[in-house]
Amino acid sequence: MSILNPVDISNSFTQHFLNYQTALNLMHDYFPVTGNLNEASQTYTNAKNAVTTEQAQIFTLENRLATSANLVNENINTIKQEINVLDASTNNIESILNNFKDRSLAAEGELKIQKYLYHELFTGNIILVLTVIIFAGVIFKSIKKKSN
């Protein structure tokens, strides 16, 4: 059974309650004066049958409404479970993303440290080369002076 449209249910209830009230009014108006139902007119009997029919229709409609409400509740529970699964998946993806962000920050920090160390070593090597050249020049001049 499918889920009923609330507007259709409301319209059906309204129509059945109007029919029920009309049949009750007819029963009231055509109730036998003597109180003996064997003397009841055909209009009273028809109204009595209409009341019974409308009661059955209202009962059936109430059952259909209850079934429809149960289906809606089942659908809501299914959707709620799907949302919970998606939430868990989202949390997992967010934690993976945060790990990548942390690794990215760590890698950037490591890169900065390596660049600093490289520049420090490069500067140290340039100073060492200049020092060696100066000392080699000084030593070469002093050897040249001694040999002259």
Tell me: the pLDDT tens digits for 3-41? 778 888 889 989 999 999 999 888 888 777 776 776 678
Q: How far is residue 31's CA from residue 39's CA, in Å, rounded to a whole number?
A: 9
Q: How far is residue 97's CA from residue 79's CA, in Å, rounded to a whole number?
A: 26
Task: From residue 146, give the alpha-carbon distance in Å to each of 48, 135, 136, 137, 141.
Answer: 144, 16, 15, 14, 9
* Cβ neighbourhood burial of 46 (10 Å; 0-12, 13-18, 19+): middle
For residues 30 and 47, the answer to whether their CB atoms sit within 8 Å is yes
Residues spanned by the domain of 79: 6-106
Q: Is position 134 within any domain? A: no
- Residue showing tokens 């140290």: 124
Q: Is position 80 within any domain? A: yes
Q: How many domains does the chain have?
A: 1
User: Among 23-32, 121-130, 131-140, where is mean pLDDT lowest?
Assistant: 23-32
Q: Is position 145 within any domain? A: no
Q: Is position 126 within any domain? A: no
Q: Is position 51 within any domain? A: yes
